[in-house]
Amino acid sequence: MNKISRFIVILLAPAVFAHCSYSQNPSPQKTTKMDSSDKKNPVYSHTDSKQVNLSDAEWKKILPGDVYRIAREKGTERPWSSSFETSKEIGTYYCAVCGNPLFKSDTKFESGCGWPSFYEAISKSSIIYEKDNTHGMTRTEVMCGRCKSHLGHVFEDGPPPTGLRYCINGVVLDFKKAAEAEKKYNEKKQE
């Protein structure tokens, strides 16, 4: 019986890890969010589309440790640790490293994987795709199209219309509420 159990565990392990692998420190990390008013990061912009090519040493100087670990060292945050995973806010998600627009909130969906999930990128140039054979799996890594920072992975088990699930680390996302949505929210709050 012990050999059968071991065989089943070995057989099922790759399937379990195929969904948004979790391979980082088990201790919770403080999440630091950046925004365009942060003077420490001179490349951060929601409007500049020029490619950003900095050395790892330069990135390390301007990024918070948790953002650097995920974005530049291809780390993975703990599942269910991002407030973006369950957020229903209306707006745009940006790369926390360079400010590049990545996803609209209306493409976000509840995947149950523990990380914010989207079925479509904001544009064809906002995301770069690369084959990832780490952790004994074949996956497709997604990176920011402007600064080439690691964001997460894309899988082909998402909802229509694309059938894709962009499984993204919340640490490397910034969010800006849609101006119209924020205005309506503030009006309701004053009533």
- The CATH number of whichever domain residue 98 belongs to comes to 2.170.150.20
123 assigned to some structural domain? yes
Buried b (16+ CB within 10 A) or exposed e, 88-108: ebbbbbbbbbbbbbbbbbebb
pLDDT of residue 15: 44
Mean pLDDT in residue range 59-81: 97
Q: In terms of pTM, does the model score above 0.75?
A: yes
Identify the band that residue 187 occupies on the pLDDT scale cut at 50, 70 and 90: confident
27 assigned to some structural domain? no
182 assigned to some structural domain? no
| Residue 19 burial class via C-beta count within 10 angstroms: exposed 0-12, middle 13-18, buried 19 and up | buried
Asked if residue 39 has pLDDT above 90, the reply is no
Full domain range(s) for residue 52:
33-176
23 assigned to some structural domain? no
153 assigned to some structural domain? yes
Identify the band that residue 27 occupies on the pLDDT scale cut at 50, 70 and 90: very low
171 assigned to some structural domain? yes
pLDDT of residue 126: 97
Higher pLDDT, 181 or 69: 69
135 assigned to some structural domain? yes
Percent of the chain's residues with pLDDT above 90? 72
146 assigned to some structural domain? yes
Asked if residue 185 has pLDDT above 90, the reply is no
Is 147 catalytic? The answer is no
Higher pLDDT, 64 or 39: 64
If one counts the domains in the chain, the total is: 1
Mean pLDDT in residue range 126-141: 96
Q: Which member of 98, 144, 147, 167 is catalytic? A: 167
